[in-house]
Structures are given as structure tokens and as C-alpha cells.
Structure 1
């Protein structure tokens, strides 16, 4: 599992931002960093919706700190665009449809009783200009949200 101080695994994946375009983490570093990667198990589920809406509510604070927020899930980019629209999300959502990012970050989780395998654990990684993970938080309990104030403080420490 990726932890604070590790090099953030680079990846290229579809970005749902109202349109669908290619996103590469390494291309965004420096220009948009720090980058906040907020992994969530699935769009349109209660806790995930609450979490992404909380990031939206705090988006101005992250923008003031010159940080860029992205949600990341196994959902298709088409599903993520609908999720963005229905919830008024103004930040991009990265589709890890092939589960490569989740695996590279070491955060897969199964809901075996539901027949759902390999979704992302609810996790947050703050990546600095150099591609180093400056903050990491991973929950084994999908019902627990991150400490948003702690994430903002980690971003502020990079300013």
C-alpha cells in the first residue's frame, strides 16, 4: 500500500470532466499540484456521494491553496460524468475501470457478499510537485469518511 513519503504511482486513465479526456498524473504535477486523489468505492452510493459533495463544498479552500482535487473510482467515465452532473461536482473524476490504479496504490477491497470485487478502499493521497505522497489516509471501513480538515492542513503544509 502506498504511504506518506512514497513516490506516487503514475497512471494514465480516462477523466470525466463533463467530457472524457485522458488524464496522466505525471502531466499534472507541477502545473496542478498539490494533487488530491480521493478514491471512493462507487458512484451513487450514500457515503461516496456524501464524501464527493463534501469535497465540492470545500473546493474553494483547495483552490485557494492552489491544490487540485480529483475523485477516483472503478466506475466507467460515462457513469462518473452522470454522477458529477447529478451532484453538481466541479472537479474531475478519474475512471479506474480496469482496476490498475487501485492495484498500483494497493487499496483494492471486496464486497464479497454483494458479488463486488476490486473496488477502491476509501482513501486520500496528497501528491506534491515532485510526485511524492505528502499525505495518505486509507480506511478499511467503507462507511468512514476522511478527516477533511486534516487533508486541507496537509495541503496547506505544502504551500
Structure 2
């Protein structure tokens, strides 16, 4: 597998309809008219992913006040996402992309470096999608710690 194609500002955000942590379905089209922060993470309930999810949870009120909806996406099964939501009081939707098709469409699944080795997996990424469904920002290989604070600064929220 080679490096995935990456999205750039102005690209249309790939559409999706995926199962959520609550058993419902969520589609990007439902969020049209609102700005969306879609963040891709490798695995629920791991230390880095927990830190990142809790950072988004703790910033959710200010992000929503600025007009942003937050959605997390991972290849975890909905049942695991539900446990993650309950354990860490996650207050935004988590969607399950078990076949990784949506992650791949966003360029967030493919070859990456992990502890000096090339592996295939989820590339921790964040996408800011505007109200018209276009990519405003595509951030790849972000760090779990400190990323939300940097994103808030970049969006002019701090």
C-alpha cells in the first residue's frame, strides 16, 4: 500500500453515512449548513485517542458556540464506540468506519510511521469542513496531545 491521496482546501469533502456509537446513522449531508470538525483516530480507549477525545469534549461548547460540530471517526465497531462514549463522557458523535472506506477517501488510512516502522493504519487527522461541504483545512499526522488547542488557535477561537 502506498501513501494515501490527501485532501486539500477547496476539495469537496467525501460524503458518508456511517453507524454511530448510539446505533443511529450519521451522514455528512445531515450536517450541511454547519461547519464540521471531523477527526480521525486509530482506536477508541487507547491513551492517545482518549486524550484527544477528551480535549474535543472539553472544547465542545466553545467550538459549537463558534458554529462547529465535532464528529470522531475510527474503524472501531459501534459497540466499542458506545463503551468509549460512556467511559469518558464523550458528548459528540463517534462514527464507525469498519471497512475504512471513508477514512481512505479522506486520506486518513494508509502507510504511516509508527515507532520507526512503516505500518498501514489510521493516520491521525483532522478535517475542517465548511457549511457547503468543502474542505477548509486538512491536517494530517496530528499529535493526540495539544492538537485541539492548536486547532482552536488556528480557527481564531483563542
User: Could you say which TM-score interval applies, normalised by the shorter chain?
Assistant: 0.7 to 0.9
SS in 1 for 2:24: strand
The alpha-carbon distance between structure 1 residues 6 and 150, as it changes in their structure 2 partners (threshold 3 A), is: farther
Q: Is the 8 A contact 1:7 1:133 kept in 2?
A: yes
Q: Is the 8 A contact 1:137 1:146 kept in 2?
A: no
Report deviation, 1:151: 2.2
Given the alignment, which residue of 2, 27, 31 partners 2:30? 27
What's the TM-score once normalised by structure 2's chain length?
A: 0.83
Alignment of 1:1-150 (within 5 A): 1-16=6-21, 19-30=22-33, 33-109=34-110, 119-139=121-141, 144-145=144-145, 147-150=147-150
Q: How many residues align?
A: 148
SS in 2 for 1:71: strand
Q: Which runs of 5+ in 1 are unaligned?
A: none
SS in 1 for 2:79: helix
SS in 2 for 1:137: strand
Instruction: Give the Cα–Cα distance (whole angstroms) in 2 for the partners of residues 8 and 94 of structure 1.
Output: 16
Q: Which runs of 5+ in 2 are unaligned?
A: 1-5
Report deviation, 1:156: 5.1
What's the TM-score once normalised by structure 1's chain length?
A: 0.83
